[in-house]
Structure formats: C-alpha cells, structure tokens
Chain A
Amino acid sequence: MKHSLSRGRFVAATAGAAAVTVGGGPYVIAAPTKEITLGLNVPQSGDYSDQGQDQLRAYNLAIDEINAKGGIMGMHVKTSVGDDQTKAPVARDNAQRMIERDGAVMITGGSSTGTALAVSALCQQKGVIFMATLTHGDETTNQQCHKHTFRRYNDAYMSAQSLARTLVTKYGTGKWFHITADYAWGHSVYDNITAVVEPKGAKTIKNALTPFPGTKDFAPFLQQAQAAKPDVLVITEFGADMVNCVNQAAQFGLTKSCKILVPLVDEYMAKGAKDNFDNVVSTAPWYWEYHASKYPGAKRFVDAFAAKYPGLRPSNGAECAYADIYVYKMAVEKAGTIDAAKVISALEGAKFQFTKEQEWYRPQDHQGVNSCLVLEGVPESQRGPGGFAFARVLEVHPGESVVQPLAGLSCKMEPA
C-alpha cells in the first residue's frame, strides 16, 4: 500500500523535476504534493464505446467542477485516461500503467464485467482503490469481490429481482429463448433471470451463447430462435451488440412474433435500436428524466451535463461515473487522507446522496445499495430531442429490497 503510494509520488516528482529542467521555475517541484491522479479506464473503441465515451464526459464534468472548487482536500485532480477496448488484458495493462507510471491513486471506469474483474484483481494486488462503474455481472462484488473494489451500479441479481413481477405479468410463463453474450456478465444475467422465472413455470428452451467480443451477425442465433418459436426472446447483449442483435431480430420478424426482453439497457442502446425497443422491458440503475424530476442533485447534474455537452443527456453509466468521483472525494475528505486502507474504511457503510436517493456501500461485499428501475421503451417519435427520453418508468425498487441477501453471498473479502 504505502509502497505504491510513495512510488506514485516518486514518479510524479520525477515528472516535476523534468519540467524544471525543461524550463519551469524551481517552485514546480512543490506541485506534485498538491495533485492527485485518478485513472479513467473506459472503452473508447469497440462494441461498448458509446458507454465508455459517455462515462468519460461525466468524469470530465465532475473533475472540472471539483477542480473549480479547490479540488479534493485542496489537491488538484489530474487524470490518466486509457481506452480499454472492452478487452480484459488491455484494461489490466491500462490500469497498471496508470498506477505505476502516472501514480494514479484510484482507478475507475469500465463497461464490462470482463474488464472489471481483471482491473479489480490488479488493483487489489497494487493496493489501489477501484471504483468500478458499468459492470452488472454478480461476480464483481460476489464471487470475485475484493477489498479495494467498490461497485455502485446494480448487479444482475438486482435486475432479475426487480424484473420478477413484470416478467410474470407481462411476459408470462411460456417458452423462453435466450441469446446471451458468452462471458461473465451474460452468464450472470442468464443465471439470475432463469432463477427468477423458471420456478414460476417459464420453460427455458435454449440459451444460445454468442462469442464475445466480435459478433456482428446474430443471424445464426436469431434463426434458431425463429425456428424454436418462443414466447419470449431474452437478448442479453450490451452496447453495439445489443443494437445489432435487436435490430436484426426485427428483420427476422422476432419483435412481432414474440416478446423481447433486454435485461439491461442504457440511452445509447435504446437510441440505436430505435422503434425496435418500443415496448421492450428492461432495467437500469438510473434514468436522467426520472431522477432529474425527483432529486435536485440529479437535476443539477443533468443540467450541467447538457450545458457542457449541448444536445446530450447523461446515460446511466455516465451518472455512475459522475457519482463515483464525488463518492471518492467524500471518502477521502472523511478519511483525511488518500491512504487506500483509510479511504476504504470511510467508504464502507457510509451513507451519501448525490444523484439519486440516499445510498451506501455494503461493507461485506462493497456492493452499492441503491434503487433499480424497471423501464419500458417508448416509440421513437415520443422520445423528445436527441431521442434520450427513451422509456417510461414502470417500477422503482429500493436497493434493500432487491440486493442479494448477505446469506447468499460467496464473497470472501480480504482482511483490511
């Protein structure tokens, strides 16, 4: 722990010294102690890049706001940005570079459970805090939880629990066909959804696993679905993959012949799927239109986001990114230090409220306990400017009511 911190300072100091040699004044050397570096590790290319780019917008907004008001405990916030390409090895290498070369004291970001698990393991090893953003697979805070990793985003368990009632009333208990991204997240969602609907009588007829990443043509899987004539088609794909899969499903007539369920959605996926997302039920931890109308903190965020990025509204991943920066700031100020062990103690169990209701991180698994929304897509013509108002809110489930009970956890947290 201490080792990596002093190493970070050393690197920063070396950079400062280099600046002096190049021509800065002698006082530059003092600057590094007044700065901290946060590592922003998000996909800027590849299938989940819409989500990564939007997180980056939110990070920059939060950090600009914080720096304008004197930084974190007087320290100016600097960033080290990396494109993780939604590939676990790249995400890991980025995080390592951010920590070792740039002296990052906290890593945040991500759009996939695959990358989150890789970065989480590395950060644990390095003793650096990882505020995971868009990771929805259970593993991140359950089977593969780590002391240094905090995940505020809903997990697949919460989504499935939130959907339980709607799934039975709206989707019924007929034949269910799953198309699932073949990696940790997809498996986690599949397990959770089937665990909820099968006891109620739904019959799973097939789970077609699609190679990830790199599947552009979902026709082979959609054709199987078409032949199987299911009542419900569950599309557990994310980002551009979901857009391709849903739109291709429409071309195969599946949006008409059966009900489509997309367990997790964001603004950019709904935009890409256009009218094919009409009437589709999904979940999200946050929805700008709903939360801005309910919480002043959310309204401030949405307005500031729209002012900085004209024409855009923050997606739920962006909200998580924005809030994570403020949560980290809060914890550092509470701990009075950037020492990871003390910041972790400050985060565990602390209540906070920024962009939704009052929420907290459970100390046992570092899962954020906050609400989960059940959304239903509306036609493109009703989505307003930019197409960001893509859904109506069917249900809001308080975090406590849907989060995995502690008894069911297999998280073995490292000692402090």
Chain B
Amino acid sequence: MAALFQALLGGLVLGLIYVAIAVGLTIIFGTLRLVNFAHGAFYAIGAYVGLVVAERVDLVAGLIAAPIAVALFAFALDRLVLRRFYDKDATAQLLLTFGIALVVEESLRLIFGATTLQYPVPDALKGSAFIGPIEYPAYRLLFAAGVIVLLILVWLFIERTNYGLIVRAGIRDRIMVQLLGGNIRRASSVVFALGGAIAGLVGAAASPIYSVDPSTGFAFLVPSFVVVVVGGLGSFWGAVLGGLLIGELQSITGLVFPPASNVVIYLCMALILLFRPQGLLGESEVIRQS
C-alpha cells in the first residue's frame, strides 16, 4: 500500500515536469500552429544556464536567469527564423525546428562537453519531508509545488490577459482572429518566448533532480509530445491531464512491471490515436484546421 502511494507521489512529480513542458508546447501549437521540436532544446538551454549561474551565484539566481535567457533566445529565434516559415507547410516547420534542436544540442556539446553535469540540491532542502508514513525528498516536493504555482500563473495569463484572449481565440479560429484585427503575429512571438521561458525555468529547477547533458532536451521532448497528443493538441487542461496521466502511468508501471515503464507511454499514445485521435480534451476542429 505504502509502495503504491509512493509510486503515485513519484508519478505526480514526474507528471508535473511533463505538464510544464507540454503546456509550453501546446500553447505554441495553439497560437502559431507550429509543432516545435526545438522545445526540448529550450529545456536543455535553461538547465545549462541555470547550472552555470547557480554555480557562480546561487540556485535562485539560476532560476531567474534561465527563463530570461531562454525567452530571449526563443524571441530572437521566432523573429529571425521561424517567422519566415509561418506560411510553409507542417513538414517544413518540423524539419526546421528539428534542425534547430540538433544545432542547439551540438552547440551545448561544443561549449560544455559531453560530460554529465548536476547541480547539487541546496543544503537547506536536502532533507526529506514526511507525508504520513511516506518519506519523500523535500526538494522534489518543493519542485512539484513550484510547478503547480507556475501552471496557475500560465492559466491566469491565458484566461485573464489580452494576449491570452488572442491565444485562446487563435486556438479556436486563427483566420477569424486576424479578420477581426487581432495581432496574432505579435502574440505569436510573445507566446513562443513564454513557452520557451517555462521550459527553461523547469530545466533549471529540475537540474538538482536530473543530471544534464547535451542530449537532455530530447529525453524530455519525446514524452512531452506524447503528453500533448494524449491530452489534446492546443488544450491547456489537456496538457495537464495528459502529463499527470503519463507520469502516473510510468511510475506505477515502474512498480509493477519495470521493463515496460518506458514503453507504456507510447502504448497509451497509440491507444489514444486509435480511439480518440483529437486527444482526451482536444477539440476536433484543431485537427481539421491544421
């Protein structure tokens, strides 16, 4: 029983990481209609910037620097490169963002080497917290709480700001937004930078938990894509539901039948694609339009 509860808790923490990355992916897709394969690269850049700053100053400074750096990078990327591909077909965008991800990975390898790096958990957070009989690392719990706060902020941004309005409308009907005079292009850059900043922040915050190497981006990108597909393209709550579902599924499979714990998420995705192609909370229009 305790083992199951622990697995559920572990799944929650893992799921929240997926949620945080997938939310960025999904709002970018919703607004820009762009399948962003470079999203894992944002996570990796954030992790490295966070690590470098944390080693020189402290973890908090790293957590501030990482999202800012990634947001600037994403903004520049959108303005200088992606912009030219908005009207191209999905394949071109896919190849482009995949290429960017490879360039980022190799650049990180060039700068930092292939060595696995890890920022130690700060001394103050090294201990464990007790939830009933369960002992759980304090940093992981704090991390999970932080991701929840972050998600609330993103949700408020989408629901309560004018940019958020354009984002939501854009997910519904992109052309109509433009006909009504909504500046979806400017919103695009902001959304792209925001999605990047979230991934970067999570990357930095997760570096005391997961070690970082240049290929880290892809390691988190793939499950996050699964999350988006399972949850529904372009849906905020879909990303949340999908992320938690995948995290829990992976964790519980790890308890019951470990060899399948990495495969099970793809099985889940395959089933979703077969029986509910728009995803759990996705709207079928999104599929048709894109």
Contacts and interface: CB of A to CB of B under 8 A. Distances in A.
Interface string B126-160: 10100000011101100000000000000000000
A75 B275 CA distance: 64
B289 to A, nearest CB: 34
B259 to A, nearest CB: 6
Contacts of A223: 3, 6-7, 9-10, 255
Contact of A211 (B128, B255, B261): B261
Contacts of A239: 116
A219 interface: yes
Contacts of A253: 128, 135, 137
Which range holds the interface residue count of chain B?
35 or more
B219 A49 contact: no
A272 B116 contact: yes
Given A49-B114, A227-B2, A240-B211, A215 B120 contact: no
Contact of B135 (A224, A252, A272): A252
B268 interface: no
A385 to B, nearest CB: 16
Interface string A42-62: 001111011011000000000
A226 B209 contact: no
A149 interface: no
A224 B251 CA distance: 11
Contacts of B113: 53
A252 B128 contact: yes
A227 B113 CA distance: 37
Interface stretch (A12-20, A90-98, A242-250, A296-304): A242-250
Nearest to A240: B116
Contacts of B135: 226, 252-253
Contacts of A209: 258-259
Contacts of B254: 220-221
Contacts of B10: 217, 219-220, 223
A268 B115 CA distance: 8
A50 B118 contact: no
B114 A243 contact: no
Contacts of A345: none
Interface string A204-227: 000011110011110111011011
Contacts of B126: 251
Given A217-B210, A220-B7, A251 B251 contact: no
A46 B109 CA distance: 11
A218 to B, nearest CB: 9
Nearest to A208: B258
Contacts of B14: 217, 219
B137 A251 contact: yes
Given A210-B258, A215-B262, A251-B137, A220 B114 contact: no
B93 to A, nearest CB: 25
Nearest to A253: B128
B142 to A, nearest CB: 12
B258 A244 contact: no
Contacts of A44: 114
B222 to A, nearest CB: 9
A314 to B, nearest CB: 15
Contacts of A219: 10, 13-14, 140, 251
A191 B23 CA distance: 44
B64 interface: no
Which range holds the interface residue count of chain A?
35 or more
B174 to A, nearest CB: 36
Contacts of A53: 113-115
Contacts of B3: 223-224, 227
A214 B219 contact: yes
B112 to A, nearest CB: 12
Nearest to B14: A217
A403 B113 CA distance: 36
Contacts of B26: none
A289 interface: no
B207 to A, nearest CB: 11
B6 A226 contact: yes
B250 interface: yes
A182 interface: yes
Given A227-B6, A252-B128, A274-B120, A220 B251 contact: yes
A256 B139 CA distance: 17
B214 interface: yes
A185 to B, nearest CB: 16
A44 B215 CA distance: 11
Contacts of B213: 47, 49, 240
Contact of A216 (B120, B121, B210, B263): B210
Contacts of B259: 182, 209, 211
A243 B116 contact: yes
Nearest to B254: A220
A211 B14 CA distance: 16
A182 B215 contact: no
B210 A211 contact: no
A177 to B, nearest CB: 13
A50 to B, nearest CB: 5
Contacts of B121: 251
Nearest to A207: B258
B139 A251 contact: yes
A322 B174 CA distance: 61
Contacts of B7: 220, 223
B87 to A, nearest CB: 34
B248 to A, nearest CB: 11
Given A44-B114, A211-B258, 16 more contacts: A210-B258, A214-B219, A215-B262, A217-B209, A220-B258, A221-B258, A226-B6, A239-B116, A240-B213, A243-B116, A247-B118, A247-B120, A248-B209, A251-B121, A251-B137, A252-B135
15 contacts: A46-B215, A49-B114, A50-B114, A50-B115, A182-B258, A214-B262, A215-B262, A220-B7, A220-B10, A220-B250, A224-B3, A240-B211, A244-B116, A253-B137, A268-B116
Interface of B: 2-3, 6-7, 9-10, 13-14, 109, 113-118, 120-121, 126, 128, 135-137, 139-140, 209-211, 213-215, 219-220, 250-251, 254-255, 258-259, 261-263
The 6 A-B residue pairs with the shortest CB-CB distance, nearest first, are A220-B254, A251-B137, A49-B114, A240-B116, A223-B6, A219-B10
